[in-house]
Structure 1
C-alpha cells in the first residue's frame, strides 16, 4: 500500500488521521491533501493518505468499491499506523465521498485503533442513498459513475516510484472491472448492497462520528440519520455546499478544518473542549434565490437543534386536490403521465464532479410538463427541516412504472426553485428487497420520503408539489410510458415544520476560511465547462457536456497531468426506451521522456426488456502514441422490474 505522510514537527508521538482513497495521492488529490494535512500537522496530527489496492501507487488489484479486500486492507492500515513510533496509538479517519464511506464502514467493523470519524458526502445505506439506485429506480449516474471509475482504474502507477509500473499498468488494464454491469445485476436491496451499509446495525459503530454534507450534494440524508440513530456521540451538519470539502466549496467556503480538528482534539487527544455538547444537528436554512446551473452564493441562515429528532418539529398535512394543496381531503382522481424528457432542469446528480454548469435550474419548464399541486400564496413564513413525505393511493396501466416527487418554492414572479425530490419505482411500493410487478387497475398504497431539506418559504411564495412519471437525465426511465392514477382522498403531503420560540446559538462553521497554505501547482491550461441542449433530426432531446479539467504541473514530482470528459444524454419525449448515455474520458501523464495516455468510452442504451452496455479502452505510450492496449466489451442485462 502506498502512502504519503505528513508529520508534526514534534519529537513525541501524536494521534494520526487517515484518509483512504482510490483517487491517487500523487495527482488527483495532491493539492487538496497538501492543504488539509499541513493544517492537521500544525495542529499536532500525523496525516496519512493511502491509495487503495490497485490504485495510484499501491500494489494489488482493485475489485469493487467498499469490497471486503478494501475494508480488510483498511483494518491492516489502521493497525500499521497505530504501531508506528510517530503515532501514539490513536487514529481517526476523515474523508469525503469514498473516504467518508469507508470511514463509517471501518467504524462499523470496530477496528480497535479507530477512535473517531469525520465523514462527509457519505451514506448509511448503499442501495437507498448512493449513486446507483434511489427509491428502487436506476439512476443514470450508475452508468456515468461506472464509466468514470473505469477511467480512473486504468491509470498507471508513477514510474518514479514503481519500477514495475508498466507490467502493473497492463495488468490493471486487463483486469479493470466492468462495474456498471456488476451493479446492474443487483437491482434490489440484496446482500451485495447491505455489505457496507451501516444502517444494518447502528449499534456496531462505537467511534464518535461527525457527519457533514451540503444541500447542493446528493448525500443529504446521512448526517441526520446518523445523529438520530447512533448510540455514541454524533454531530450532524448540513450546509450550503456541493460535493466538496466545505473549505473548498464554490458556493459558501467555510472553515471545515477547524471543525474537524475540534472533533479529533476531543476524541483522539481527550481534550475537554465541549465538542460533545455541540448541537446534535446544525443546518443552513436556505431561502429562495435565482437558481441557475452555474455556481453562485446561497441565501439563508444557520440554525441549530440541540436534540435530533427535534422537539420543535411538527407534522403538517396538506391534502392533494384537483385545485392544489389543501387543509382538507378531497375526492376524485388525477392521472399523471409525463413525457420522457421531464427533468431537463434537474442538474447533475452529484455536483462537484464536473467543472461547472451542474446545478438545478428554474424548475418552471419541468413543472409545466408535470402534474402540480400548489398551495395558496403563503400568509406566513413556513420553515422546513427534515424529510417531507408523500403518501398516496394509486393504480397504473403498466406492470412497471415510476413516479418522481419534487417539492418547489415558487416566487411571486413564477421562478420555481427545487427544495427536494425523490423518485419511487412503483414496483417497490412495499419493499426494496422483494418488488413485484404491478397489476394494471389494482389499487395500491405507497410512500415517498423525499430527501432531507432545510428551507424557509417567504410570505407570498407558493409551495408546489410536482409529480411526474419520469425525471431524465437523473433517473433512467421505466420501459414504457405509463399512466399513474392517484386517488385523492388517500393522498397527502406531510411536511416537517420547524417552529422555535428562541433559537440557540448555531455555532456554524466560520463562513470565511482562514488563509491556508497551498501547494502551488502550476496551471498550464485552465479548466472549462460547457453544456449544450438541443433537439436532433429525430426529435431526440439531447444534452451534450464537455469538461476540461485543465493541465497542470506538480512541483514536487514534475509530472504534467491533463484530463477531460464528454458526456451525451438523449431521449425521445414519446419513447422512454430510447434513453441513451455516452461518455468519453481522456487522461494523459508526462514527465521528461515518460508519457502515457488513456482513452475510455462507455455507452448504455435499452429497449423494454434489456439494458445494453458497451465500453472501449485504449492506452498509448510515448509522444508517438504507441498503442499498448486496446479492447472492447459488450454486455446485455435483463431489466427485470427497472
Structure 2
C-alpha cells in the first residue's frame, strides 16, 4: 500500500437531473487531477455526520492513502441531502445511485472506474445498483447483505413474520426524521427538516401490505437474475449475524463473479467486528479495488471462491470477545456431501441408518419460548447473540446424539425433512441445531423457521389440510461448525420463538412423525487450512469525546399475575461530540415485546426512539413511538412522530393502519 497524501471535503454537492442536491464527503488523493484515480462509493441514509462517521474515518483515509478516492453520499432525504426518503431500495434510490456513479466517472480526477461498497443497507444497494449495469461500476464489496429481500432480510423469513420488521421500521422512522446539520446547510436547515417530517413514510405501512413474496420483494432481489449480474463481487458476512446466508447464495448463484468470506462476526465491518478473530478488510479491499478498478495484476481473481471461519465449539457468554476456530478455503464451491441423521427407536439422533423413530409426537411450544435466541441481526457480541439454549430446549421436542467419538465438521446450509399434521390452517415450525458441551452448556450452531402455509411457496401460500399428514422440507441457515469429540449434536423442534417470530393466530401445535425426520448436515469435505490476515491496527475506530456515557440493558420479565412475559431492550448511545465539526448526537431506544404464553393474540411490540442533534445555541431532536398488535384476522400498526426545538414540541404526526393477515 502507498502512503499518498489526501484531502477531505464536505463542500461538494451532486445535483441530480430533477434538481435534488445530494451531500457528499470526499476523500481525494493528492494529485488526482494529474494522475487520475479510481473511486469507491458508499450510498446510505445513515448520515455521514452524526451517523457513520467513525467507520468512515477508519476506512476512507486508508483508501485515499492508497490512491483510491472515497465518495460517501447521503441518499435523498437523509443527512444534508435534499428531499424526502421514499422507502428502502426503491427505484428512485437506485436510479439516484446510477446518476451519482455517472457523475463520479465524469469528474476530471476520475479514471472512469467506480467501485461500490457497504454493509447492510449499503451492502444491499451496491448489489442492486450493479444489477442495473451502470457502465462505470466494475466491482462491489457487499457486507452483511442479501440477494433475496423476502427471505433474508428483517421482514419475513420463510413466511414467518420477524419482530425485526417493526423494530427496523421504528429505527428508520427515527433516523429519517433527524435534521440536517445547520453548520453545513445554513439557514435552510429548518425548512429541509420540516419537509422531511411532513413527508417521510412509516415504512411498516408498506412492508405489511406485502406479506408474501410478490413483485415488491422481487424488486432488488438479485437472485431473480443471477446470470446477468455484471460486476465482480466480494460478499462478506458473519456467522453471528442474520445475513449469514448471502455469501453462500452469491457463489452458488454467480460462481464466475462472486467470492465469499465468512467470519465469526456480528453485523459489523470485519476489521473491527466481534467476536474475533478479525480480518484485514482494508488490505482485502485495496487488493480488490486495484484489480478491478486499476487492472492491476495482483491475483485477486484467484482468491478462493469460499473462505470461511469454522467455529470450534464456542460457549455462550455474557460477551463473546473471541470465538475458537480455524479458517478454511475451498478454491471452488460445490454442493457438499451430507451426513444424514434420523431418530432411532430409543429416541436418539443417529446417522447409522436406524430411523425407526418413537412414533408421532404432538408439539405445542409455550409462546414465550425463544428468549435465548438473541437479535435477528446482531450489532454487539453480548446478549444480542444467542445464549445458552437449554432454557428454550425445555419448551421444544429434542433429540440428540450420543457423545461423539470423532469430530464432525460442517460447512453449508443444513436441510430438514419430516412429515407432520396440524389441526389448523397454519402453524410455525422452528428448528435449531445445538452443540451440547460435556457439561450440558448448549450453543446454537444453526436454526431455521418456516410458516407451514409457505411449505411449497412463499409467493402463493396455502392452508394446511387439517388433520392430514404432509411432507415438509426446509433449509436452515448456513453454518461453519466443528462439533468436538465428547460433544453431542441436538436438534430442537418447536412452534414458537419469541420474540424472533410472531405466532400464528391459533398457535395450534403440530404432530410430528418422528420416523420421517431426516436432518442433512453439509460436510466440510475437501479443503485447505489457511490464514486470514488480521488488521494491523487492533483498534481502528476513532474515539470521540463523550458528554454522557452510553448504557445497554436487555432482560426478560414474567408477570406471575397477568401471565405476560415481557422481553425488554434499552439502548442509550450517550451524548457524543465529533471533535472535528462539534456536532453532538445521541440516540435512546426502548423496546418491549409482550405476550401471554397461552394466547397468540396477546402479542404486542412497542418501540420508542429519542434522537438529539446539538451545538451551543442549537438543540433539536425527535421522539417516535411505534406499536404493533393483532387480532385473529388483522395486523394493527401505529406510530407517532414528534419533533422538538430547544425543548419545545414543534411538530407531531401519527400513522395508523390495519391490514388483513395473509397466512402471517
Match of residue 18 from structure 2:
none
| Partner of residue 602, structure 2 | 578
Task: Provide the rounded CA distance (Å) in 2 between the counterparts of 1:156 and 1:275.
Answer: 42
Whether 2:39 is the aligned partner of 1:12: answer: no
Which of 361, 364, 367 is the equivalent residue of 1:334? 361
- Whether the aligned pair in 2 keeps the contact of 1:247 and 1:257 (CA below 8 Å) is yes
Q: Residue 321 of structure 1 contacts residue 373 of structure 1 at CA under 8 Å; is this kept in 2?
A: no
Residue 391 of structure 1 corresponds to which residue in structure 2? 417
1:40 is paired with a residue whose SS is helix
2:280 to 251, 255, 267: 255
Measure the CA separation in 2 of the matches of 1:437 and 1:293: 41
Counterpart position of 1:276 = 301
Per the TM alignment, residue 516 of structure 1 is displaced from its structure 2 partner at its CA by 7.3
TM-score (norm 1): 0.96
Deviation at 1:573, TM superposition (A): 1.1
Query: Partner residue of 2:651?
Result: 629
CA distance in 2, matches of 1:72, 1:499: 43
Alignment length (residue pairs): 634
Residues 479-504 of structure 1: CA distance to partner in whole angstroms, max 9, x if unpaired?
1121211223332111101234xx53
Once the two structures are overlaid, the 10-residue window that deviates more, 462-471 or 538-547, is 538-547
Residue 357 of structure 1: how far off its partner (Å):
2.8
Please give the alpha-carbon distance, in whole angstroms, between the structure 2 residues aligned to 1:79 and 1:231: 28
Q: After TM superposition, give the deviation of residue 393 of structure 1 in Å.
A: 1.4
SS of alignment partner, residue 226 of structure 1: helix
Q: Is the 1:403–1:468 Cα contact (8 Å) retained in structure 2?
A: yes
Cα distance per residue 1:29-76 (max 9 Å; x no partner): 012112210000011100000001011111122001000000000000
Task: Give the CA deviation at 1:103.
Answer: 0.6
Q: Contact 1:66/1:102 (CA < 8 Å) preserved in 2?
A: yes
**1:219 aligned to 2:246?**
no
Could you tell me how far apart the structure 2 residues matched to 1:519 and 1:461 are? Answer: 41
**Could you tell me how far 1:320 is from its partner in structure 2?**
3.1
Which residue of structure 1 aligns with residue 408 of structure 2? 382
Q: 2: CA distance between counterparts of 1:348 and 1:483?
A: 24
Pick aligned residue for 2:327 from 286, 302, 308: 302
* From 556, 567, 575, the counterpart of 1:533: 556
Correspondence list, 1:47-126, <5 A? 47-126=70-149
Matching residue of 1:445 = 471
1:592 to partner: Cα distance: 2.0
Please give the per-residue CA displacement for 1:460-491, whole angstroms capped at 9, x wherever unaligned: 11101101001111111111121211223332
2:159 equivalent in structure 1 = 136
Which runs of 5 or more structure 1 residues have no equivalent in the other structure?
A: none
State how 1:594-609 maps to structure 2 within 5 Å: 594-609=618-633
Deviation, 1:630, is 1.2
Change (3 A) 1:293 1:129: farther
Alpha carbons of 1:65 and 1:71: their partners in 2 closer, same or farther (altered >3 Å)?
same
Within-5 A mapping of 1:343-358:
343-352=370-379, 356-358=382-384
Whether 1:189 aligns to 2:220 is no
Residue number in structure 2 paired with 1:285: 310
Post-superposition CA distance 1:514-566 (Å, at most 9, x none): 36775452222232111221112301111222111111111222111111101
Give me the whole-angstrom Cα distance separating, in 1, the residues matched to 2:303 and 2:620: 50
* Partners of 1:524 and 1:550 within 8 A in 2: yes
Counterpart position of 2:522:
496
Query: Does the aligned pair in 2 maintain the 1:409–1:461 contact within 8 Å?
Result: yes
1:250 and 1:200, CA in 2 relative to 1: closer, same or farther beyond 3 A? same
Q: More displaced, 595-604 or 548-557? A: 548-557
**Structure 1 residues 601 and 203: CA distance shift in structure 2, 3 A:** same
1:316 positional shift: 1.5
RMSD across aligned positions (CA): 1.5
Asked if the contact 2:50/2:584 (under 8 Å) is kept, the reply is no
Moved more, 457-466 or 251-260: 251-260
Cα drift, residue 594 of structure 1: 1.5
Q: Deviations over 1:139-166 (max 9, x none)?
A: 0001000010111110011112223221
Contact (CA 8 Å) 2:326, 2:529: kept in 1 or not?
Answer: no
Q: Is the 8 A contact 2:310 2:325 kept in 1?
A: yes
Structure 1 residue 247: deviation in Å? 1.1
2:222 to 182, 188, 198: 198
Contact 2:271 2:534 in 1 (8 A): no
Equivalent-residue separation in structure 2 for 1:315 and 1:505 (angstroms): 20
Alignment of 1:548-627 (within 5 A): 548-622=572-646, 625-627=647-649
Question: What are the Cα deviations for residues 341-362 of structure 1, in whole angstroms up to 9, with x where unaligned?
Answer: 110100111111x695311100
| Residue in structure 2 matching 1:33, options 52, 56, 69 | 56
Moved over 6 A (4+): none
Equivalence for 1:400: 426
Q: Which moved more, 1:189-198 or 1:556-565?
A: 556-565
Kept in 1, the 8 Å contact 2:179–2:613? The answer is no
Mean alpha-carbon deviation: is it higher for 238-247 or for 176-185?
176-185
Structure 1 position 179, deviation (Å): 1.0
User: 2-side partners of 1:129 and 1:517: how far apart?
Assistant: 30
In the alignment, the residues of structure 1 paired with residue 381 and residue 265 of structure 2 have an alpha-carbon distance, to the nearest angstrom, of 15
Structure 2 contact 640–653 (Cα < 8 Å) conserved: yes
Q: Report the TM-score when normalising by structure 2.
A: 0.93
Local SS of the residue matching 1:2: strand
